[in-house]
């Protein structure tokens, strides 16, 4: 059952990190309209969110000003602006024009998807290209405005461009992805509403086999073998909520939300001790590997170009979340500046996670088992054909984990000899190009305070010598990363490489600095060539780790404006000064993700694939922090046996089984 819904937003006196509420969104829109920076009728808001105060203001005793930041575009003048509004003073603080040539474009607008359909429906060249494929203007065709990238193509400089691929829908109920209209792409000017170019490399067969998994009986009758699973908490969940502050067990975390990043976790602390000041997925890149004239440009920044937060699903009990659930509604901003409520956008619950620790001691006969439990805070988004779930986990033992679940439908094209080196055939004549899903987690660390450092720790094989005559010894090596250039690192699974974020000013009872270790999965980073356009625009994705000195303006690994940016922004620019990161206020940027060579099993809908990372305490506690976790309340006698209560190995009635 659900324990109810709450609105993630602000009250009469919002916390400085709270997301904008509906009334604040209306106030910001009014202030910008009255100032004239948001043109009546033709002005559009591409992004609107809290301009978070610098960390020292939030952590200080005094009040922090309430500000909002907006990215605007005027459809009439084709001008864009980066605007900061003071809600405290009720005025526009700054308005900076955006040069589309050097700075790129503001993120995509929802209405631009419909715009490309109108433009192409009226274009004679597009109609002729469809006619060559035996399709007339009345055919059901799915079109989408796709981000254009930056390739220095003639006639595109400074223009707001979308590239458009087409899929056929044989019936109104059909899913289009099974029927790509390949060999054809249109380039559209989104501000002028005109076609720049139609690229037609020749007619290719449209795959005929349907992929309509959503229609009852399309792939056989449903199974009848599954029996119900019920997850209940008769006394309710163990967490408490005060505004946007959540406390659970010894954890506290402040929930935030941004229409670009989605769910943001602020001020994560354990037993009152700070660990992470701010955690989010600050960018997501999906680069494709097909070099053809039709698809070479397919490189999507789902966060910076499409804004994940505004694409969140409304989650459903029993489908997306199971158990005793608390939902949070969030509010984002429409292009016209009106608040847009996303109901049940965030799901929070706690769940059993198997054995936490266990031992049966042969010396004294004691048998002890404790069960692990975790708090789950999640949201799901749909970006065109793909769906992504972001799951933050807080565990009883102080572990923090992020798991990303990728599902949905692979992007498709026609499969032939040309496509074969760069794509999988997932159905007869249907190609799914090779691609990657790369995420950048921004982790503003604060392990027992703001003065942190990073040690790279890895295993070391030791030589056979007088100290190691039998060759069995091995050790580990810790290397302090002292500058931002040294803080750019690659994972090495063979060396067991981890990165320990330590506080040199705080020691545990053994005299060692307290710390948290980042455990990477170490899968491939960006595979595009060193000289490619996408590499220059997404250099963040070429290293598993970047460590930077904290600066409040450095929020996004590919820069503030990603759409059609020529490259070099974000982390390459942030680290150019090679600042000191040893014992400073630092931010970790961790690249992780999937390299996807689609399988036949991924069609017509892809089972969830996962990726992520773990932050685990290392010397942060003086001993196991879960010694006070009690035996399971449902079966306490079987999880705890006193000393000399039973001979070693003797089973207890109703014993607690490890899973």
Q: In this structure, are strands 325-333 and 2-7 parallel, antiparallel, or unpaired?
A: parallel
31: part of which helix (H) or strand (E)?
Answer: helix 22-35
Cα–Cα distance measured from residue 442 to residue 590, given in angstroms and rounded to the nearest whole number: 7
Measured distance CA(557)–CA(284) in Å, rounded: 10
Return the pLDDT at 595: 98
Residue-wise pLDDT tens digits, 76-95: 999 999 999 999 999 999 99
d(CA 178, CA 168): 8
What torsion do the CA atoms of 175, 177, 183, 186 make, to the nearest 10 degrees?
A: 70
Q: How far apart are CA 435 and CA 541, in angstroms?
A: 14
Q: What is the per-residue pLDDT across 600-618, written as a single tens digit (0 to 9) for each?
A: 999 999 999 999 999 999 9
Q: What is the pLDDT of residues 187-246, one digit of tens each?
A: 999 999 999 999 999 999 999 999 999 999 999 999 999 999 999 999 999 999 999 999
Q: Parallel, antiparallel, or unpaired for β 339-360 and 367-383?
A: antiparallel
Half-sphere exposure at residue 369, Cβ-oriented, CA atoms within 13 angstroms: 17
What lies within 8 Å, CB to CB, of 138 at 6+ separation is none
Confidence (pLDDT) at 636: 56
**CB of 241 within 8 A of CB of 326?**
yes
Which H or E run contains 117?
Answer: helix 111-121
The pair of structure tokens assigned to 641 is: 């046996």
Q: What pLDDT was estimated at residue 338?
A: 97
Look at the block and give the residue holding tokens 């209560």: 645
Name the helix (H) or strand (E) containing 502: strand 498-507
Of 86, 92, 177, 74, nearest in space to 387 by CA: 177
* Under-50 pLDDT residues of the chain: 645-659
Residues 6+ away with beta carbon under 8 Å from 297: 148, 149, 151, 163
Render 129-150 in DSSP notation, one character per residue. Answer: HHHTTT--TTS-EEE--EE---
Supply the pLDDT for residue 654. 35
- Per-residue tokens: 517: 């270790």
Token pair recorded at residue 445:
């660390």
Task: Name the nearest CA neighbour of 108 among 185, 160, 159, 167.
Answer: 160
d(CA 609, CA 598): 11
> Which CATH architecture does the domain made up of 110-200 adopt?
Roll (3.10)
If you count them, how many residues does the chain have?
659
Helix (H, G, I), strand (E, B) or coil at 145: coil
The topology (CATH level 3) of 6-98 is Nuclear Transport Factor 2; Chain: A, (3.10.450)
User: Average pLDDT, whole number, for the chain?
Assistant: 95
Choose, from 386, 388, 391, 395, the residue flagged as catalytic: 386
Report the relative pairing of strands 339-360 and 513-520 from DSSP bridges.
Answer: unpaired
- Is residue 302 annotated as a catalytic residue, yes or no? yes
Q: Which of 302, 387, 444, 585 is catalytic?
A: 302
Domain extent listing, the chain: 6-98, 110-200, 240-449+482-618
Same fold, 6-98 and 110-200: yes
Percent of the chain with pLDDT over 90: 92
CATH superfamily entry for domain 240-449+482-618? Copper amine oxidase, catalytic domain (2.70.98.20)
pLDDT at 633: 72
Say if residues 441 and 280 touch (Cβ distance below 8 Å).
yes
Q: Which of 130, 208, 213, 133 is nearest to 173 (CA)?
A: 213
Q: How far, in Å, CA of 145 to CA of 114, rounded?
A: 8
* Backbone φ and ψ of 78, nearest 5°: 65, 25
Encoded tokens for 475: 């050790």
pTM: 0.96
Cα distance between residue 86 and residue 610, in whole Å: 40
């Amino acid at each position: 059952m659900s324990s109810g819904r709450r609105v993630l937003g602000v009250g009469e006196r919002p916390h400085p990190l709270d997301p904008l509420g509906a009334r604040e969104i209306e106030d910001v829109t009014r202030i910008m309209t009255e100032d004239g920076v948001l043109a009546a009728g033709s002005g559009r808001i591409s992004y609107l969110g809290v301009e978070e105060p610098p960390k020292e203001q939030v952590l200080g005793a005094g009040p922090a000003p309430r500000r909002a930041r907006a990215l605007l575009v005027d459809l009439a003048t084709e001008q864009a602006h980066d605007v900061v509004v003071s809600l405290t003073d009720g005025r526009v603080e700054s308005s900076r024009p955006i040069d589309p040539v050097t700075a790129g474009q503001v993120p995509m607008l929802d209405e631009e998807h419909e715009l490309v359909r109108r433009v192409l429906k009226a274009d004679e060249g597009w109609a002729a290209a469809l006619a060559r494929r035996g399709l007339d203007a009345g055919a059901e065709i799915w079109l989408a405005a796709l981000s254009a990238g930056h390739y220095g193509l003639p006639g595109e400089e400074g223009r707001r461009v979308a590239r458009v691929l087409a899929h056929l829908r044989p019936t109104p109920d059909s899913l289009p992805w099974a029927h790509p209209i390949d060999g054809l792409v249109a380039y559209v000017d989104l501000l002028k509403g005109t076609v720049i170019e139609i690229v037609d490399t020749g007619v290719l067969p449209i795959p005929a086999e349907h992929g309509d998994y959503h229609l009852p009986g399309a792939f056989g009758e449903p199974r009848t073998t599954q029996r119900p699973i019920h997850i209940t908490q008769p006394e309710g969940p163990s967490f408490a909520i005060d505004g946007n502050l959540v406390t659970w067990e010894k954890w506290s975390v402040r929930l935030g939300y941004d229409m670009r990043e989605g769910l943001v976790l602020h001020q994560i602390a354990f037993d009152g001790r700070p660990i992470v000041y701010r955690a989010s997925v600050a960018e997501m890149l999906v680069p494709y590997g097909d070099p053809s004239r039709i698809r070479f440009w397919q490189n999507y920044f789902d966060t910076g170009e499409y804004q994940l937060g505004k694409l969140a699903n409304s989650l459903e009990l029993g489908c997306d979340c199971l158990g005793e659930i608390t939902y949070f509604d969030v509010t984002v901003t429409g292009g016209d500046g009106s608040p847009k409520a996303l109901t049940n956008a965030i799901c929070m619950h706690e769940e059993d996670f198997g054995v936490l620790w266990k031992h049966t001691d042969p010396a004294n006969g004691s048998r002890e088992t404790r069960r692990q439990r975790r708090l789950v805070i999640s949201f799901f988004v749909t970006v065109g054909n793909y769906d992504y779930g972001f799951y933050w986990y807080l565990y009883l033992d102080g572990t923090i984990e992020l798991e990303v679940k990728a599902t949905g439908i692979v992007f498709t094209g026609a499969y032939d000899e040309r496509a074969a080196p760069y794509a999988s055939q997932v159905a007869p004549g249907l190609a799914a190009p090779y691609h990657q899903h790369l995420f950048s987690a921004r982790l503003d660390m604060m392990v027992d305070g703001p003065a942190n450092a990073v040690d790279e720790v890895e295993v070391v094989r030791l030589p056979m010598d007088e100290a190691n005559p039998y060759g069995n010894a091995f050790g580990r090596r810790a290397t302090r990363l002292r500058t931002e250039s040294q803080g750019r690192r690659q994972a090495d699974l063979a060396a067991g490489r981890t990165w320990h974020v330590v506080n040199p000013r705080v020691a545990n009872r053994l005299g060692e600095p307290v710390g948290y270790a980042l455990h990477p999965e170490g899968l491939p980073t960006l595979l595009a060539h060193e000289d490619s356009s996408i590499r220059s625009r997404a250099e963040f994705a070429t290293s598993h780790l970047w460590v930077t000195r904290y600066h409040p303006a450095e929020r996004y690994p590919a820069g503030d404006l990603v759409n059609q940016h020529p490259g070099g922004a974000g982390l390459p620019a942030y680290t150019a000064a090679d600042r000191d990161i040893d014992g400073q206020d630092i931010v970790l940027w961790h690249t992780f993700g999937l390299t996807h060579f689609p399988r036949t099993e991924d069609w017509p809908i892809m089972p969830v694939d996962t990726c992520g990372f773990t932050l685990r305490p290392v010397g942060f506690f003086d001993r196991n922090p879960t010694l006070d976790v009690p035996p399971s309340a449902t079966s306490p006698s079987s999880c705890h046996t006193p000393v000399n209560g039973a001979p070693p190995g003797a089973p207890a009635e109703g014993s607690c089984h490890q899973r």
